[in-house]
Amino acid sequence: MSEFIYTQKRTRQYNGPVDSADHNERIEENYKDLVYLYNKYNVTDQKLSEAFQRVLKDHIFINQYIKDMDDRIKALESNDDLISIHSYSQIDNSAIPDGEFAMQGDEVLSYDPIYNIVTLPKIDGASHSKLKFFTGTDGQIIPNFFETKISNTLPGVDVQGAIIDGTNVYNSILDRSDKYWKRSIITDTTSPYGAQMFLYVKVPLEYTGSKKTNFIKLNPFPLFGVDILSIEYTTITNPTMTEYDTWYPLNRDRLYDGNTDAVGKVPPGAWTTAGSDYILNSGPIGFYFQDLEITAFRIAMRQKNYLIENNKKVYTYGLSDMDIRYDKFLPSGRMIFKFDAPEGDTISSITNVTPKIYNVSPSLLSQAFSYRVIYRDGSIYTLENPGSSNSVWIEVTLNQLSDGTAPVLSDLVVNYN
């Protein structure tokens, strides 16, 4: 229904209006309403078309990713006597309501279901985004200090003079499902490099009250269809957002260099072997790091796949969500995970628990992580093993490091007999 109706209701007797001026006025009002409805239909049709294109592209790449995941799951299931976190439903903080294992609300670790990460309890009132701003009357707004830049100087089809079809980069920070940033390269040719670009994003320090930054998140578009090649930062004052600024890889310490299990868990672009930490067909990714006074980021992205539309090759990439934040945490927290024995099996004892924490050096893991194995003996929860069980509970404790790093737990690998 339209927000404003031009056609006015008129009370008439007998055969209606007899005044020609009144008749013409009513016809003019009808015409304005028809024009309004026609324009609104076109706007709605355009939104539906854009939404359909987004769903179509996401669906194609998600389907490819699911096939890859099936193969990986089969490989994991071939390992005997090993279980891990496979679902957020394994978080079972309320299983033990009282006693020494009972959880207090402010000590429960934070869990992010989009990025599948567990970290320290977040202090929401002291945490804030550097890019997303809201007002009480207008809702979310695009701040006038939001500044980005695209550099397409890398090899591939995304070069100077290419035909570009896309949306505005600021769509990537809007918390709306119908808004996303895309950049489509329309070409007659292909390239082994695909389409590549650098996205530069300035961090507006003067408007957010704190110079500290410790988190970046990216949701590539299409989902599971874009490669993230590197994430770098600069701390110089007034960055030009060009290659001439001093750029450091976000994983500057080369954490887990060469460990293939860490791909996608550490920011790419720093390992000794170039390209070995690329996040191929990336899903949503988020990285916590030590507190840094960052003034700008640059992100290298690549699309190697294309769709054929109107006999043209179309390479599409971008972001459906992006944020740069400073999150404040409590120094420590706990969480309980429930692990069930595979069907037809029981757990006699836990032989080892290995945390998958990739933003902490292996030498500091003992400071950041500890655990207890909890068994159930009848109606009692205990640390003493009563024998074979169908389920066990692992209580995880995370601690903040001295440099401010909040450890991020992405999985627990549990070995059992």
- Give the phi and the psi of residue 406 in degrees, each rounded to 5: -95, 115
Q: Which residue has the tokens 């090649």?
A: 229
Residue in 76, 82, 73 with CA at minimum distance from that of residue 412:
82
Could you state, in order of their start, the residue ranges of all structural domains in the chain? 11-78, 80-108+331-416, 123-329
Answer whether 141's CB lies under 8 Å from 374's CB.
no
Answer whether 232's CB lies under 8 Å from 333's CB.
no
- Give the phi and the psi of residue 267 in degrees, each rounded to 5: -60, 135
Burial class (CB in 10 A: 0-12, 13-18, 19+), 266: buried
The top-level CATH class assigned to 123-329 is mainly beta
Residue 73's pLDDT is 56
Structure tokens at 118: 């567990």
- Give the phi and the psi of residue 42 in degrees, each rounded to 5: -65, -40
Residue in 181, 152, 162 with CA at minimum distance from that of residue 242:
152
Q: Which residue has the tokens 């699309």?
A: 303
Q: What is the pLDDT along the chain (417 residues), one digit of tens a residue?
A: 446 677 776 665 555 555 677 777 777 777 777 777 767 766 665 555 555 555 555 554 555 555 555 545 554 555 567 788 877 888 988 877 777 788 887 899 999 988 889 999 999 989 999 999 988 888 998 888 899 999 999 999 999 999 999 999 999 999 988 889 999 999 999 999 999 999 999 998 766 667 899 999 999 999 889 999 999 999 999 999 999 999 999 999 999 999 999 999 999 999 999 999 999 999 999 999 999 999 999 999 999 999 999 999 999 999 999 999 999 999 999 999 999 888 778 888 899 999 999 999 999 999 999 999 999 888 888 898 888 888 899 999 999 999 999 999 999 999 888
Residue 119's pLDDT is 96
Residue 34's pLDDT is 77
Structure tokens at 276: 């070995």
What whole-number distance in Å separates Cα of residue 393 and Cα of residue 100? 14
Within 8 A by CB and 6+ apart from 29, the residues are: 6, 7, 8
